[in-house]
Structure 1
Amino acid sequence: MKVGVADTTFARVNMGAIAVDELKRHASVAIERSTVPGFKDLPVACKILIEERGCDIVIALGMPGGQEKDKLCAHEASQGLMLAQLMTNHHIIEVFVHEDEARDERELAWLAERRTREHAVNAVNLVLRPDVLTRMAGTGQRQGFEDVGPARQ
C-alpha cells in the first residue's frame, strides 16, 4: 500500500510531518508527500499522487484562515478534492483545520495535530482494515474534538 500526503505551506502547523509520523506508527506503508502553496492547489496534487505516483489513498491537509474569503476558498478546494476522487476512483481524506475552530494558537496546534493523526489512522483503516470502520458506524466519531457518541433511541 502507498499513501499520499498532500499538505500546504499556508498551514500554520506542519500537518504533513504529523501525518507521516502517524502513518508509520500504524502500518508498514510506502509514503509519497507533496507540499503545495495553498489548499486550492491540493486537488491537483492529490490527483498527481494517485495517477502518477501510484498512491492507493491520499490525505489532503490544509488550514484555511478565519476570513470569509478563506472559507470560500476552502469550499472550492473541497469541491476540487471531491472531483479528484471521482476522477480517480480513489479516496482522498480531506483534513482541514479552520483557524476559527480554535480559541487560541495553542488550541489550534493541538487540534491540527489531533485531527491529522486521527485521519491518518482512518486512511490506513479505509484501505487495509475497512471492518474497523464498519464496527464504528453510527458511533458519532469526530476527528479533533471529542466524539459525540451515538444518538439515543
Structure 2
Amino acid sequence: MRKYGIVDTTFSRIDMGNIAIKTIKKEDLDSEVIRYTVPGIKDTPVAAKKLIEKGCDGVITLGWVGKTMLDKYSYLAASIGLITVQILTSKHIIDVTIHEDEADDIDKLKEIAIDRVVKHSKNLVKLIRDGENSLTPFAGKGLRQGYKDAGPID
C-alpha cells in the first residue's frame, strides 16, 4: 500500500487538504493518506519531513501566500526548506501554493486553487504509484496547474 502525506495550513482560505485527499483516494485506490495541518507555510517543511519519517512515499504541501512582500519572503523561506527536505530524504514533495495576488476576484482565486490542488495531487500519484518516468510523456506539453494549459510551442 502506498502512503501519501498531505500538509495544509490554517492560513489557507479553502480546505485544500480535503480536495487533495479526495483526489488521491480516487486516483490510487490502494493508498493511505495522512494529513498534517500547520498554521502557515513556514511550518510546512518540518511537517513534510515528519510525514516522510512516518513512512510516506511522497508529500503534497498546500500553502496560501498573502499579498505583501513579507508573505512572499515567507514563501521563499518555506520553498527553500521544502527543497532541502526533498534533498535530505530523496522523496518528492509537491509544493502547491496559491498566491493571493493571482486574481482579484475571490471566485477566480478559488477556481485556481482547486484546479492546482487536483492536478498536482494527480502528479504526486503518478510519481509515487507509476514511477520516476511516469510524467515523461507529458514533457514539453505546456501543462499548467491553476490555469488553462499553454500548450507546446512546436
Q: If the TM-score is normalised by the length of the shorter chain, which range does it land in?
A: over 0.9
Q: Which amino acid aligns with 1:87?
A: L
Query: Gaps spanning 5+ residues in structure 1: where?
Result: none
Partners of 1:63 and 1:82 in 2: how far apart?
Answer: 18
2:44 pairs with 1:45: no
Look up the match of 1:134.
Answer: 136
If each structure's strand is expressed as a fraction of its own residues, which one has the higher value? Answer: 2
Look up the match of 1:121.
Answer: 122
- CA positional deviation for 1:70: 0.5
Deviations 1:20-72 (A, max 9, x none): 01111111210000000000000000000001x11000000000001111011
- CA positional deviation for 1:100: 0.4
Look up the match of 2:76.
Answer: 75
Look up the match of 1:149.
Answer: 151
Look up the match of 1:6.
Answer: 7
The 3-state SS of whatever aligns with 1:43 is helix
2:107 pairs with 1:99: no
Which aligned runs of 4 or more in structure 1 are off by greater than 4 angstroms? none
Partners of 2:106 and 2:38 in 1: how far apart?
Answer: 23
Look up the match of 1:25.
Answer: 26
2:16 pairs with 1:15: yes
Query: Gaps spanning 5+ residues in structure 2: where?
Result: none
Q: Which amino acid aligns with 1:40?
A: K
Partners of 2:32 and 2:41 in 1: how far apart?
Answer: 23
- CA positional deviation for 1:132: 3.9
Q: Which amino acid aligns with 2:27?
A: H
Partners of 2:59 and 2:38 in 1: how far apart?
Answer: 14
The 3-state SS of whatever aligns with 2:114 is helix
Partners of 1:144 and 1:98 in 2: how far apart?
Answer: 11
TM-score by length of 1: 0.96
Partners of 2:145 and 2:113 in 1: how far apart?
Answer: 10
